[in-house]
Amino acid sequence: MFTGSLSPVTGVNLYGLLNDQPYTLQLFDDGNHNDSLSGDKIYGNFIRVFQEGDLLMFRITMQTAFDTTTTKQIITACAFPDVVKSIDIRTGRIILPIDNRGNLADVATASGGGMRYDSIVSIFSQGFMLSGLIESSVWAAGVFSTSLIKDFQVGKVGYPIEDPKNGIYQVALSDSAFGTSWQRWKGAVSLGARYWDGNNNNIYDPIDLNQNGTWELNEDMPEILGEVSYFTVFNDGVDVSLRRYLESPKGIEIRQTIYAFPDSDSPAMQDAVFIRYEIVKKGNLSPKIDDIIFWNSE
């Protein structure tokens, strides 16, 4: 932080939230706090080394004898390497790329884009629309890339899109019990994902209680639909000015689980992809929405 040639500075402080907990830090210009030379008006300090999953949202204030200046909010995050923004779902003869905010097929991944069947693009784009009545006015929002409708962003209502918990969580029946994907599911649970609460304490704590290396009914595990599940959460928080139809956000959160049976004995099951949408209206951004219609066919 460089304070420039302003009148004598009486204090420089960082304050904000680290993983939803208050976080403050005084910055110094004494040559001992990562601040270059003493007295050069460059202030610094050391922030705790980041761990995967950390989210720090902060501002810096500078006090002088006359006033206080505050920076804009700065967001720093440390992502989980296996919680991704987009992924290819491969099952049977299908490759379906998805992203973390409701787009299906029309997602550029390393393998290309579009849903492919035997390597031939058979669905270019897929998404969903929601419509209803708000105090007798028709309202709608959705994700349909071909129509340039992109009203949803990654994450829960009210959370920054940079939150490292945001993204696509993958868990498979064949994953080792209590292994990485089961532990990572804690992030999914914090976003609203379901789990089996074997030890019945209302917390997702996937621990091998009797240490026998296998899962028992009284031990926690992720909800795994099909043989492989992909879970992500998005909300209608895209700003009104960035939308095609200029609707304001209504605090709607969608928990999307896509699942498949790539190891099924039935070729028809291998070639199928199932999608579950759970729709939650949060907060008081809008009055009641009546007569909701949901559809996702083009």
Residue closer to Ca ion, measured from CB, 31 or 251: 31
Torsion of CA 291, 296, 297, 298, to 10 degrees: 100
Indicate which single residue of 9, 19, 23, 42 sits in contact with Ca ion (rule: CB under 5 A).
42
Choosing from 52, 162, 208, 271, the residue that interacts with Ca ion (CB under 5 A) is 208
Owner of token pair 């000015």 = 241
**What's the closest the beta carbon of residue 183 comes to Ca ion, in angstroms?**
13
**CB of 157 vs Ca ion, minimal distance in Å:** 25
- For Ca ion, the closer of residues 208 and 227 by Cβ is 208
Stretch that binds Ca ion, among 27-35, 112-120, 136-144, 260-268 (CB under 5 A): 27-35
> Applying CB under 5 A, does 35 fall inside the site for Ca ion?
yes
Among 216, 239, 278, 290, binds Ca ion (CB under 5 A): 216
The verdict on 45 binding Ca ion (CB under 5 A) reads no
Among 29, 99, 163, 236, binds Ca ion (CB under 5 A): 29
Looking at the Cβ atoms of 213 and 287, the one nearer to Ca ion is 213
Which part of the chain contacts Ca ion (CB under 5 A), choosing from 42-50, 87-95, 224-232, 256-264?
42-50
Phi, psi of 113 (to 5 degrees): -150, 165
Residue in this structure with the two tokens 């992924």, named with its chain if needed: 87
> How many CA atoms within 13 Å lie on the side-chain side of 67?
3
**C-beta of 280: minimal distance to Ca ion in Å?**
22
* Residue 1 C-beta: closest distance to Ca ion, Å: 9
Residue 49 carries which side chain, given as an amino acid letter?
V
205 binds Ca ion (CB under 5 A): yes
Q: Does 212 bind Ca ion (CB under 5 A)?
A: yes
Nearer to Ca ion, 106 or 220 (CB): 220
Burial grade of 288 (CB within 10 A; 0-12, 13-18, 19 or more): exposed
Per the CB < 8 A criterion, the answer to whether 12 and 3 are in contact is yes
Q: Is 32 in the site for Ca ion (CB under 5 A)?
A: no
Nearer to Ca ion, 135 or 216 (CB): 216
Q: Which of 52, 197, 227, 271 binds Ca ion (CB under 5 A)?
A: 197
The three-point CA angle 22-164-245 to 5° equals 105
User: Which stretches of the chain bind Ca ion, using CB under 5 A?
Assistant: 29, 35-36, 40, 42, 197, 199, 201, 203, 205, 208, 210, 212, 216, 220
